[in-house]
Amino acid sequence: MRQSSTDQLHPSLGTPCSVVGNQHTPTHYGNPQSEHAIVRNGVGITDASHRGKLRISGVDRATYLQGLVTNDMLKLANGIGMYCAILTPKGKMQSYFRIFEIDETLIIDLDEKAIDTTYKLLKRYLLYGIKATLEDVTSSYGHLAVHGPLSATLLTKACDHPLPELDVPNYAKASIATTPLIIVKTDECGEIGYDLLMPVASITPVWERLWKTATNNNIQPFGAIGSEALEILRIETGTPRYGRELDGEAFPAEAWLENKAISLAKGCYMGQETVTRIDTYGGVKRKLAGVTISGNTLPKHGTELLGTDDDTRAAGRVTSAIHSPALNQVIGLVYLRTKYLNPGTELTITFDGHTHNATVVTLPFPR
């Protein structure tokens, strides 16, 4: 079991930890609802070192991936990031990640649950004669993230040199406390955010510099954010996650990824025929949506929803659910059959021996 990169800091912050991937990761720093408010109104810092990192080097690195992934690897360049998926031959999600070209190597950043599957998929197609090398370098990377409307203000003051303007998911090289790092723009919590990638040995001084910068410049609210608050923010934003919404049964278009992780102009890749057919004929029968749910208990992953019409088939199923501090009620991400997608559509959902009302909401959830 790998310890969190900032384990030596967490006990002093009063942190209970849970197992995420192959390491202990802070669940919260006292109150997930307060941490949620920090991100919505100021800037929160979190240790994301549980996320996986794969490295591909060699002259064939881009052409090797071009026939496997959904986005156009030949458009990658220094400073550019992309979202990509690897599909089954039938076009369903096998893996989902961000990828960056950094100094003639490709770095893949992905959910910890996708590390083994993605590594094995990439290794399977790394055939003899391809001049590329694949490595799992997760343990070599420290990964911090800052989220919130004041995150750019914090980084501008903490970085040793001015931070350039970035679009999601592009990156810039920078340094904090003389530590070289990669800063990636993100918006997966629904606010301005940045991922900071660095050598694992440097994560503590960078964490301390960010904390000191916020204190000395009165950047408030500011604080550490655990995984519970991040999950609330993710669901409120409607961001699909590997292993939840992206569970191996989903087509990219069902999760609204067609304009984010798909190139319709590039050449052949695994699952492309299905992607093209869906784009041409609109063939998906369900889509990711949000629902509000009555009561205070949470439905489990896979719980079915029913329409209030005469259709006896399930209207959809739950993929993620939390209690939203912003709305003060239970909300969920669900896959719904397309006829139930209109905002305001009333549904029912039964769990824990009770039937609850559910109402369809446009993503992201209002706040």
The dihedrals phi and psi of 53, each to the nearest 5 degrees, come to: -135, 125
3-state class of 75 per DSSP?
helix
Helix (H, G, I), strand (E, B) or coil at 229: helix
Q: Is the pLDDT of residue 17 over 70?
A: no
Q: At 214, phi and psi to the nearest 5? A: -60, -40
Indicate the average pLDDT of the chain.
93
| Interval 131-135 mean pLDDT | 98
pLDDT of residue 284: 95
Residue ranges of domains in the chain? 1-284, 286-367
106 in Cβ contact with 76 (< 8 Å): yes
Distance separating alpha carbons of residues 197 and 203, to the nearest angstrom:
9
CA distance 174 to 181: 5
Distance CA 301, CA 243 (A): 10
Do the Cβ atoms of 108 and 54 come closer than 8 Å? yes
Mean pLDDT computed over 99-108: 97
Whose tokens are 């995984």? That residue is: 227
Q: 3-state DSSP call for residue 295?
A: coil
Q: What's residue 46's pLDDT?
A: 96
19 pLDDT tier (thresholds 50, 70, 90) = very low
Judged against a pLDDT cut of 80, whether residue 12 lies above it is answered with: no
pLDDT given for residue 229 in this prediction:
97
What mean pLDDT do residues 197-203 have? 96
Q: According to the model, what pLDDT value does residue 18 have? A: 53
Give the pLDDT mean for 318-327: 98
- The confidence band for 247, taking pLDDT boundaries of 50, 70 and 90, is confident
- The answer to whether 336 touches 289, Cβ cutoff 8 Å, is yes
Q: Which residues contact 221 (CB under 8 A, 6 or more apart)?
A: 37, 38, 41, 42, 43
Among 24-28, 243-247, 307-311, the least confident range: 24-28
Decide if 1-284 and 286-367 have a common fold: no
Question: CB of 104 within 8 A of CB of 76?
Answer: no
Cα(278)–Cα(1) distance, integer angstroms: 42
Look at residue 169 and give its three-state secondary structure: coil
Mean pLDDT of all residues in 55-68: 97
Q: Which two tokens stand for residue 111?
A: 């959910």
pLDDT of residue 192: 97
Confidence of residue 1 (pLDDT cuts 50, 70, 90): very low
Decide if pLDDT at 11 tops 80: no
CATH of 1-284, one of 3.40.50.620, 3.30.1360.120, 3.40.50.300, 3.40.50.1000: 3.30.1360.120
- Whether residue 45 is predicted with pLDDT greater than 80 in this model: the reply is yes
Structure tokens given for 62: 């881009």
**pLDDT tens string 80-95:** 999 999 999 999 999 9
The pLDDT tens digits of the residues spanning 160-191 come to 999 899 999 999 999 999 999 999 999 999 99
Using the predicted structure, report yes or no on whether residue 21 has a pLDDT greater than 90. Answer: no
Structure tokens at 17: 């930890």
- Packed helices 203-216 and 151-158: angle between N→C axes, nearest 10 degrees: 110
**Residue among 181, 25, 44, 210 at smallest CA distance from 100:** 181
- For the segment 250-306, what is each residue's pLDDT rounded down to a tens digit? 999 999 999 999 999 988 999 999 999 999 998 899 999 999 999 999 999 999 999
Closest Cα to residue 313, out of 280, 285, 342, 293? 285
The pLDDT of residue 307: 97
- pLDDT for 7 equals 56
Q: Which residues pair with 292 in a beta bridge?
A: 331, 359
286-367, CATH topology level: Elongation Factor Tu (Ef-tu); domain 3 (2.40.30)
Which pLDDT belongs to residue 183? 99
Q: What is the C-alpha to C-alpha distance for residues 282 and 278, in angstroms, rounded to an integer?
A: 5
Q: Which residues contact 106 (CB under 8 A, 6 or more apart)?
A: 55, 56, 57, 61, 62, 65, 76, 99, 100
Rg (C-alpha) for the chain, rounded Å, is: 21
Query: What torsion do the CA atoms of 89, 93, 95, 99 make, to the nearest 10 degrees?
Result: 90
The pLDDT score that the predictor gives to residue 267 is 80
pTM of the model: 0.94
Q: Determine if the peptide bond prior to 180 is cis (ω within 30°).
A: no
Residues in contact with 277: Cβ distance below 8 Å, sequence separation at least 6, in sequence order? 283
